[in-house]
Structure 1
Amino acid sequence: MSAGPVTLYGLKNCDTCKKALKALDAADRDTAFVDIREEADLDRLVPAWLKAVGAEKLVNRRSTTWRTLSDEEKSGALGDGAAALLKANPTLIKRPVIDTGADILVGWDSGAQQALTQ
């Protein structure tokens, strides 16, 4: 099965991103990798991702970066302050973010795996 190309946004050293890339490669998916710290246009992408999936899904509240935020920053992260916080701290973006051209998928859970590798 070979479906259309996808873009995987993540971090080079992220184990989950590596697993996703490996699985997509095994499924013969044409996948472009974009490092969210070094290559991604977060000014353009973050608002679109927030609109598509919402802050609740996009903000990684299990990250080390999340634990270092103040309570005020944390409360803004799930509301109007999400875009600015995610652009300033790309490691707060739950990974990977996968753009299929039709959908934005966040994380490498069973739903994403089935949608992209079956």
Structure 2
Amino acid sequence: MLQVYGIKNCNTVKKALDWLNDHKLEYVFHDYKKEPATLQKLEEWEKKVSWDQLVNKKGTTWRKLSPEEQASVQDSESANRVLLNNNSMIKRPLIESPKGILLGFDEEEYKSKL
């Protein structure tokens, strides 16, 4: 079964969940607001995708960081420290599937990998 991580009120997450529901794919949704990501989970994901792919640098949470905080994100350790304190900065949605990790919503990628 697919594991979907994100925030319920995120528009991209809503699109992804609608797509999964429309295609009758079963999933478990993990809301970062209720179930924050753990260091263990971040490290598990980083075995499949690079740490810099997990960091959403286009979102509001990233923009709220000071320039010094942004500049401090240089490797997986520093990224994980920031992501653990700001789960909403993790690229959303993140889907764990048998074919790997999918980040964001891309209908073509979903068709080919889900």
Deviation sequence 1:79-112 (CA, Å, 0-9, x none): 1300111011001101000001441111112443
Deviation sequence 1:17-38 (CA, Å, 0-9, x none): 1111111111111111100221
Maintained 8 Å contact 1:55/1:78: no
Maintained 8 Å contact 2:83/2:90: yes
Q: Which of 59, 66, 76 pairs up with 1:63?
A: 59
Say whether residues 1:9 and 2:5 are aligned partners.
yes
Deviation sequence 1:26-72 (CA, Å, 0-9, x none): 11111111002211442221111223211221100111111111223
| Partner residue, 2:112 | 115
Q: Which of 62, 67, 87 pairs up with 1:90?
A: 87
Maintained 8 Å contact 1:8/1:33: yes
Trace 1:23-102 onto structure 2 (pairs within 5 A). 23-79=19-75, 80-102=77-99
- CA distance in 2 between partners of 1:65 and 1:40 (Å): 15
TM-score (norm 2): 0.87
Q: Secondary structure at the match of 1:51?
A: coil
Q: Which of 98, 103, 110 pairs up with 2:100?
A: 103
Maintained 8 Å contact 2:99/2:113: no
* Residue 116 of structure 1: how far off its partner (Å): 4.4
Q: Are the structure 2 counterparts of residues 26 and 78 from structure 1 closer, same or farther at C-alpha, using a change threshold of 3 Å?
A: farther
- CA distance in 2 between partners of 1:102 and 1:91 (Å): 24
Q: Are the structure 2 counterparts of residues 59 and 21 from structure 1 closer, same or farther at C-alpha, using a change threshold of 3 Å?
A: same
Aligned Cα root-mean-square deviation (Å): 1.7
- CA distance in 1 between partners of 2:13 and 2:93 (Å): 6
Q: Secondary structure at the match of 1:81?
A: helix
Maintained 8 Å contact 1:11/1:37: yes
TM-score (norm 1): 0.84
Amino acid at match of 2:6: G
Maintained 8 Å contact 1:36/1:42: no
- CA distance in 2 between partners of 1:78 and 1:51 (Å): 17
Task: Extract unaligned runs of 5+ from structure 2.
Answer: none
Amino acid at match of 2:79: A
